[in-house]
A and B are shown apart, each in its own frame.
Chain A
Amino acid sequence: SQELEQSPQSLIVQEGKNLTINCTSSKTLYGLYWYKQKYGEGLIFLMMLQKGGEEKSHEKITAKLDEKKQQSSLHITASQPSHAGIYLCGADMSGAQKLVFGQGTRLTINP
């Protein structure tokens, strides 16, 4: 079983619509990291959350970490074609500079 579960695994939304991706762990996390990946390419850092209840935003993307530090969500407002890609959450579960990743969410934006 996955230490970190992402949902949904794939998402198709119409351009302009809002969407949310979730990431859940059974353990309390030291930190939660969101990355975006274009198919077959490297990971691009989006946001890092370390404190319970923390929320960060960058442009139209907002990420939150719950108070228990076991669940995070990534919300995109008014989606655009440039948002298409694979979104990965990575969790620091040990404080040892090592990330465990979810299986990813493939996001498609339809015009």
Chain B
Amino acid sequence: DAGVTQSPTHLIKTRGQQVTLRCSPKSGHDTVSWYQQALGQGPQFIFQYYEEEERQRGNFPDRFSGHQFPNYSSELNVNALLLGDSALYLCASSPAGVWYGYTFGSGTRLTVV
């Protein structure tokens, strides 16, 4: 049973560019959440998608946007990249209904130069 799959694993972008990160949730999960983890810090909640809608959002600027597809997979888009956007981006999936926490993917390491 495949868990949460994220792609790509590593990415290097130039300041000002745009990036798209992808996530396939664990089988049977329909809710996808995205987190940003800066070096040496705990993950911070970006937003969560359920039924193709953004259900809740953390304290991140509008440069961060997302999408969920009918097959529950999700994308995270970041526009006008800043050096401070360099981080590990984690996708987490969970089933709707009774919640026992997330299943996390291995993350995408984004470096902005």
Is B99 a contact partner of A102 (Cβ separation < 8 A)?
Answer: no
Enumerate A39-59 residues with CB–CB distance to B below 8 Å.
40-45, 48
From B33, B94, B101, name the one whose CB has the most chain A CB atoms within 10 angstroms.
B101
| Cα distance A44–B40 in the bound complex, in angstroms | 17
| Cα distance A88–B37 in the bound complex, in angstroms | 12
Given contacts A97-B31, A97-B94, A98-B33, contact A45 B44 (CB under 8 A): no
Main secondary structure of the interface of A (DSSP, over half): strand
The count of residues in chain A whose C-beta lies closer than 8 Å to any C-beta of chain B is: 24
The count of residues in chain B whose C-beta lies closer than 8 Å to any C-beta of chain A is: 26
How many pairs of A and B residues are in contact by the CB < 8 Å rule?
Answer: 60
Nearest A residue to B92, CB-CB: A43
> Would you give the shortest CB distance from B111 to chain A, in whole angstroms?
12
B42 at the interface (CB under 8 A from A): yes
| Cα distance A104–B102 in the bound complex, in angstroms | 17
> Would you give the shortest CB distance from A23 to chain B, in whole angstroms?
11
Contacts of A96 in B (CB 8 A): 56
Enumerate B69-113 residues with CB–CB distance to A below 8 Å.
88, 90, 92, 94, 99-107, 109
Is B109 a contact partner of A40 (Cβ separation < 8 A)?
Answer: yes
Is A45 a contact partner of B42 (Cβ separation < 8 A)?
Answer: no
Query: Residues 13-43 of chain A: 1 if any B CB is under 8 Å from the residue's CB, otherwise 0?
Result: 0000000000000000001010100001111
Given contacts A40-B107, A103-B40, 9 further A-B contacts (CB under 8 A): A6-B42, A42-B4, A42-B105, A44-B104, A45-B101, A88-B42, A88-B43, A98-B45, A103-B41
Question: Residues of B at under 8 Å CB distance from A?
Answer: 4, 31, 33, 40-45, 48, 56, 58, 88, 90, 92, 94, 99-107, 109
